[in-house]
Amino acid sequence: EEFAAILPSVDAEGLAAVAERIRTAGEGARWEHEGQSLRVTVSVGGARADEVANDDPMRGLLELADRRMYVAKRKGRNRCQTADPT
């Protein structure tokens, strides 16, 4: 599943810290299903308002965060990606 968190006035460092807190909170969770214990992973993509065009900032934020989330998943899941890979 996916969800979005709107964090006004958060800088790059703050975004990375919040993303990591979300990831680690989910990391320890276990789901029991049909006698099996399933591990939960959380892949986080984050974006800041100053990284997107002003013509449609909400759409830009969601698209950039979504793109970064898929980068985190491709890197092995259970990761945070709050900046473009270098």
Q: What would the pLDDT profile of 23-44 be if each residue is shown by its tens digit? A: 999 887 888 989 999 888 899 9
Q: Which of 1, 13, 32, 34 is catalytic?
A: 1
Mean pLDDT of the chain: 91
24 vs 11: CA distance, rounded Å: 20
DSSP code for 49:
G
62 vs 72: CA distance, rounded Å: 15
19 by Cβ neighbours in 10 Å (0-12 / 13-18 / 19+) ranks as: buried
Give the predicted TM-score (pTM) of the model. Answer: 0.84
Please tell me the total number of residues recorded for the chain in this structure: 86
Is residue 1 flagged as an active site residue? yes
* Cβ neighbour number for residue 15 with a 10 Å cutoff: 20
